[in-house]
Amino acid sequence: MRITVAGIGYVGLSMAVLLAQKNDVIAVDIIKEKVDLLNSRKSPIQDKELEEYLAEQIDVSMPTLRDQRPGLWATTDEQEAYKDAELVVVAAPTNYDIVRSYFDTSAVEAVLSSIMQINPEAIIVIKSTIPVGYTKSVREKMKSRNILFSPEFLRESRALYDNLYPSRIIVGVDEKDERLVGWGYRFAELLQEAAIKKDIPKLFIGFHEAEAIKLFANTYLAMRVGFFNELDTYAELKGFNTQQIIDGMCLDPRIGAHYNNPSFGYGGYCLPKDSKQLLANFEGVPESIIKAIIDSNRVRKDHIAEQILEKAGFDGKQDAEDYFKSDNPACVIGIYRLTMKSDSDNFRHSAIQGVIKRLKSYGAKIIIYEPTLKNGEEFYGDRVVNDLNTFKTDSNVIVANRFHSCLEDVRKKVYTRDIYQKD
C-alpha cells in the first residue's frame, strides 16, 4: 500500500518506520534538516530502536527506485507526498495554546487542507493528539467522510518499540459508515502486520470516545506522578524515608511498582498539555480531580525550588537579591540535564525548567550541563558548561531530576528526589 506520513516527530517517524517494513511509505515534513537526515538513514530524534531500524532494516530510497516495494523516503514536497497516497497518517504537532486554553490544531488543519487539494480521495488517519470533538468538527469543515482518528500511546525515546509492542490499537470511526469502519479495520491490520507483538487488543469506537481515551489516559498518568511526588514532599518535610513508604505501598498488586519514582514534576510532550486540554473539555461538567492534578504539579515545583535554595544556603530570611547578587561562588546552582528522561533529547516543558524559573526569580545564578547543547552557549540567559569536571567544580549545589553515576563523586552537592534511578 502507498502510505504517506505527515510530520517527522516522535509519532510520525516511528509510524513511518513501522509501516515501511511492509508498505511503500513517504514521510513529509516542512523542516528540510529532518528530511535530509532521514534520507541519510539517520534519525532526527533520539530513539535507539529507530536508529537501528533505519540503519539496518528499512530500505531508505526514492519510491521510483523501489517501484512500490516496502521502504521509506522523505520529502518536503507535499504534491509528491500526497498525490498517489491511498492512506495518509497525520502526525502534525498540536501544542497547547495558553492564551486560548486549548490545543493549537492549526498545523493539523494545514496538512488536511493540503491533502484535500491534492488528493481528496485518500483515507486520512489523524494520529495527532486533539481535543474531544475535533474529528467530527474537522470532517464537517473539510466536507470529507474520509477522516478517522487513532490515538497514539508512545513513550519518549521508546516510540518505535511501543509501536512494535503496542499495549492496544484504538481506532475512532463513524460507526454508521460501513466503508469508514472497514478502513478502520484495515488500518489496524496494517499496524498489527508490522508489529512484533501478536494478539494486540483492538477497539473500534466512536470519534469522541477515542479522543477522550487519549486525554484521560495521559491525565491519569500525570495524576500518578503527582501522587508519588506529593508523597515524597510529605516524607521529605517530615523526615521520613520515602522509599520505604513507596516500597510498602507498591507491594499491593492493585497499585503495582511502576511509575512511582519521585521527580521534580511531570513534563514533556504529552502530560502537561493533555491534562490541560482535558480540563478545558470539562467546561460545564462538575470536576475537582483534573484541576487538582495540574495544581499539584505547580505546587511540587514550588517546593523543589525552596528545597534547592535551602541547600544553597538561602534560608528565606535574608534578602534574596542581596544574597544572590554577590560574587560568592556558593551562590551558583548547577543544573544537571534539562531533558525529561534518560536517553532523550527532548526538554520541552521539562519540570526542571519550571524549577529554574523559580530559582531565577530569587536571583539565583544558574549554570547548565546539557550535552545536547553547545558548550559556552546560553539557554534562556544561563551559561551552558559541558565540561563535566568544570561544571562540578563551579556548582555549589547540583540539581538533578534524575541522578547519574557520573555525579557519585560529588553526591553531597547533589539535590535530587530520584530514588530508583529510573524514569
Tell me the pLDDT band of 218, cut-offs 50, 70 and 90.
Answer: very high
Q: Cell numbers at residue 282, please?
A: 470539562
Q: Which residues are catalytic?
A: 270
The CA-atom distances, in angstroms, between 223 and each of 219, 226, 252 are 6, 5, 18
Judged against a pLDDT cut of 80, whether residue 207 lies above it is answered with: yes
pLDDT class of 306 with cuts at 50, 70, 90: very high
125 φ, ψ (degrees, to nearest 5): -115, 115
**Predicted pLDDT at 74:** 97
pLDDT at residue 47 above 90? no
Whether residue 346 has pLDDT greater than 70: no
Q: How confident is the model at residue 326 (pLDDT cuts 50, 70, 90)?
A: low
The answer on pLDDT for 151 being more than 90 is yes
pLDDT confidence of residue 293: 97
- Whole-structure pTM value: 0.92
Per-residue pLDDT for 340 more than 80? no
The pLDDT, as a whole number, for residue 298 is 97
Question: Residue 396 above 90 pLDDT?
Answer: yes
Rounded average pLDDT over 267-284: 91
Residue 320 confidence (pLDDT): 67
What's the pLDDT at 353?
A: 94
Quick: pLDDT tens for 281-303. 999 999 999 999 999 999 999 99
* Across 250-272, average pLDDT: 94
Amino acid 102: pLDDT: 86
Specify the pLDDT at position 343. Answer: 63
- Taking all residues of the chain, what is their mean pLDDT, rounded to a whole number? 93
Assess whether pLDDT exceeds 90 at residue 410.
yes
Sign for the CA dihedral angle at 258, 260, 266, 272 comes to: positive
pLDDT of residue 345: 62
pLDDT at 120: 97
Closest CA to 156 of 262, 53, 56, 45: 45
CA 200 to chain centre: 23
Query: What per-residue confidence (pLDDT) applies to 342?
Result: 66
Is the separation of the CB atoms in 89 and 8 below 8 Å?
no
CB of 127 closer than 8 Å to CB of 150 = yes
Per-residue pLDDT tens for 356-390? 999 998 888 999 999 989 888 899 899 999 999 99
Share of the chain above pLDDT 90, in %: 82
Residue 422's pLDDT is what? 84
The CA distance from 269 to 349, in Å, is: 7
Highest mean pLDDT among 116-130, 305-319, 332-346, 354-368: 116-130
Please write down the HEC assignment for all residues of the chain: CEEEEECCCHHHHHHHHHHCCCCEEEEECCCHHHHHHHHCCCCCCCCHHHHHHHHHCCCECCHHHHCCCCEEEEECCHHHHHCCCCEEEECCCCCEECCCCEECCHHHHHHHHHHHHHCCCCEEEECCCCCCCHHHHHHHHHCCCCEEECCCCCCCCCHHHHHHCCCCEEEEECCCCHHHHHHHHHHHHHHHHHCCCCCCCEEEEEHHHHHHHHHHHHHHHHHHHHHHHHHHHHHHHHCCCHHHHHHHHHCCCCCCCCCCCCCCCCCCCCHHHHHHHHHHHCCCCCCCHHHHHHHHHHHHHHHHHHHHHHHCCCCCCCCHHHHHHCCCHHHEEEEECCCCCCCCCCCCCCHHHHHHHHHHHCCCEEEEECCCCCCCCEECCEEECCCHHHHHHHCCEEECCCCCHHHHHHHHHEECCCCCCCC
Q: What is the pLDDT of residue 325?
A: 67
